Homo-oligomer: A and B are copies of this chain.
Amino acid sequence: MSHPMFEKHRATLEAAVNAIHQRGYWSAYSEMPSPKVYGENAPADGKQAFEAHLGKRFELGQAGEKAWLGGENSPYGVALGVEYPVCEPQALIDAGLAAMDGWQRIGAAGRAGICVEILDRLNRQSFEIAHAVMMTTGQGWMMAFQAGSPHAQDRGLEAVAYAWREMSFVPTEATWEKPQGKNPPLVMKKHFEIVGRGVALVVGCATFPTWNTYPGLFAALATGNAVIVKPHGNAILPAAITVRTIRTVLAENGIDPNLVSLLVPESDAVTREVATHPEVRSIDFTGGNAFGDWLRDNCRQAQLYAEQAGVNSIVIDSTDAYKAMLKNLAFTLSLYSGQMCTTSQALLVPAGGIDTDEGHKSFDEVCADLAAATEGFLGKPEVALAVLGAVQSLATLARIDDAAALSRVVLASKKLDNPDFPKAEVRTPLILACDASDETAYMEERFGPISFVVRTPDTAAAIARAGRIVRERGALTAAIYSTRPEVIAAMTRATMNAKVALSINLTGGVFVNQSAAFSDFHGSGANPAASASYADAAFVASRYCVVQRRYHV
């Protein structure tokens, strides 16, 4: 059973399925915010579209609208003033459930095709959404464009590709013919229907309101579920634009738009009420441990795909490219002021120092050189402001201030002025040095531009410590720098056992905190930092069931 939208996007879907199988470089959406790619007027039109939202009510026409709520504070200090409809949760759930029948009936191909159509339409809004992401999260422009638009769209498409691969493996019908010796065979006709499990709740985070939302959103949608998107209260606009576009495309294709809705709750209690609702059968969540653990403990009616806190570590044993290593690390620690779930926090360095192409470097030299490299990298204000962006929350600002007292400061965090956004809170990375035994300092997630150079007895201890951090605290990334194959092998085994992705000797234009859609698994989904990986078979396979019927023929 095909569908016009499936035929329209068949080539993209097939290429995406091939990409997740080959895992070489592939992307459906250009990451360059270039008029050549997106059209001559795209940058200006996108900015204008973004600005047109400001100070207005964001109409969605959802079920159960009863009030309007806004309150987003831009980390850049820009007044946003957008208000969103507050809806009766039960009305959203009922409307979503009612829309599921039609969504199920168009079949897997129709759902996959419409999902790609939605992503294509979101791609045309890349500049508009990028501005919304930048202004709500504090990301620098380039990151806001790339991570907020094409990279998020790629991750959404990746989830659709996994869903399509699984759903298309299930035949819609079969003839079962069992031989009966000399008697005529038993013959049955069987039909297999893919049915979504119910309402999917997708809870977004404050820092990556599209990149961390699209995988769960599109995985749930493609597999036949109604979806309620609950954005972080400070990053509603990117989700609202997304939901509006989804609703528009659904309606254009004859699907009840109430299948997907935006939940802007008047209180946390409402979110908890929805999360524990018996009709909510899956929850995608990105955020802190407090709410993540609450969801796990209280929402046992739903499958939970949670990305929570973690402590990412790097073992530095030796290198044949000392300067390039330091430069790579400086970029990683600086990017978006370390406000990424993939930013390294603990850099484990042997007490005896490390061998490099510039000779042996003592522990203190490594600390000083990393500090100097970071300062150097951020020396040009235009680079610094573009890379650092702004600090998203007051809590992170306070965390930077408080962390300076935790141990020896190797590089102090500085406040920078952004002439374009005078109210923006811009901070350079804080780098501290401590001993491996000082676990309370570095073995707790300190979200933001806060890192520790941790003195370990030797490399073996550093590797063992890295493994322990993953097992106990969780991690989305890990890295090692070493010129010695046996050390890399030991770290490989340690990260395999602890279940975290490993980057080895990154010195070029790839950074430990970045993962590429269709190639890198974002996390393993199997340590305390995350119960899911974007995206893999496990991320889609439990979101639907197969309901069969059979009869004699």
Instruction: Write out the residue numbers on chain B whose beta carbons fall within 8 Å of the beta carbon of A179.
Output: 25
Whether the pair A504, B550 counts as a contact (CB closer than 8 A) is yes
9-residue interface stretch from A140-148, A185-193, A263-271, A443-451:
A185-193
Instruction: Write out the residue numbers on chain B whose beta carbons fall within 8 Å of the beta carbon of A496.
Output: 104, 193, 195, 547
Mark each residue of chain A from 189 to 220: 1 if its CB lies under 8 Å from any CB of chain B, else 0. 01011010100000000000000000000000
Interface residues on chain A, number (Cβ under 8 Å):
67
Would you call the interface of chain A mostly helix, strand, loop, or mixed? Answer: mixed
9-residue interface stretch from A63-71, A117-125, A411-419, A513-521:
A513-521
State A186–B25 Cα separation when bound (angstroms). Answer: 10
Whether the pair B547, A176 counts as a contact (CB closer than 8 A) is no
State A296–B300 Cα separation when bound (angstroms). Answer: 8
A541 at interface, CB cutoff 8 A: yes
A294 at interface, CB cutoff 8 A: no
State A508–B178 Cα separation when bound (angstroms). Answer: 12
State A227–B1 Cα separation when bound (angstroms). Answer: 41
State A497–B97 Cα separation when bound (angstroms). Answer: 10
Whether the pair B520, A169 counts as a contact (CB closer than 8 A) is no
Q: Which of B176, B503, B507 contacts A24 (CB 8 A)?
A: B176
CB distance from A313 to the nearest CB of B (A): 15
State A280–B169 Cα separation when bound (angstroms). Answer: 31
Contact A503-B533, Cβ < 8 Å, known A21-B169, A24-B176, A25-B176? no
Instruction: Write out the residue numbers on chain B whose beta carbons fall within 8 Å of the beta carbon of A499.
Output: 195, 197, 545, 547
> Nearest chain-B residue to A293 (Cβ)?
B300
- Which A2-33 residues have C-beta < 8 A from chain B? 20-25
A410 at interface, CB cutoff 8 A: no
Whether the pair B550, A503 counts as a contact (CB closer than 8 A) is yes
Number of copies: 2
A484 at interface, CB cutoff 8 A: no
State A442–B226 Cα separation when bound (angstroms). Answer: 33
Contact A174-B23, Cβ < 8 Å, known A520-B190, A536-B541, A541-B541? yes
Contact A552-B506, Cβ < 8 Å, known A300-B297, A546-B536? yes
State A170–B22 Cα separation when bound (angstroms). Answer: 8
Interface centre among A178, A502, A516 (most CB of B within 10 A): A178
Contact A533-B545, Cβ < 8 Å, known A176-B519, A195-B499, A550-B520? yes
State A31–B32 Cα separation when bound (angstroms). Answer: 61
Whether the pair B495, A547 counts as a contact (CB closer than 8 A) is yes
CB distance from A527 to the nearest CB of B (A): 9
State A176–B548 Cα separation when bound (angstroms). Answer: 41
> Nearest chain-B residue to A304 (Cβ)?
B300
Contact A524-B508, Cβ < 8 Å, known A174-B23, A195-B499, A296-B300? no
Whether the pair A552, B505 counts as a contact (CB closer than 8 A) is yes
State A525–B548 Cα separation when bound (angstroms). Answer: 12
State A521–B170 Cα separation when bound (angstroms). Answer: 11
CB distance from A548 to the nearest CB of B (A): 5
State A550–B505 Cα separation when bound (angstroms). Answer: 9
Q: Which of B101, B297, B505, B549 contacts A501 (CB 8 A)?
A: B549
Report 17 cross-chain contacts, Cβ distance below 8 Å, ordered by A residue. A20-B169, A21-B171, A22-B171, A24-B176, A25-B178, A169-B537, A170-B536, A178-B516, A190-B519, A495-B547, A499-B547, A501-B550, A505-B551, A510-B552, A521-B546, A526-B545, A541-B541
Query: 7 closest Cβ contacts across the A-B interface?
Result: A526-B545, A504-B551, A537-B541, A23-B174, A502-B549, A538-B541, A541-B541
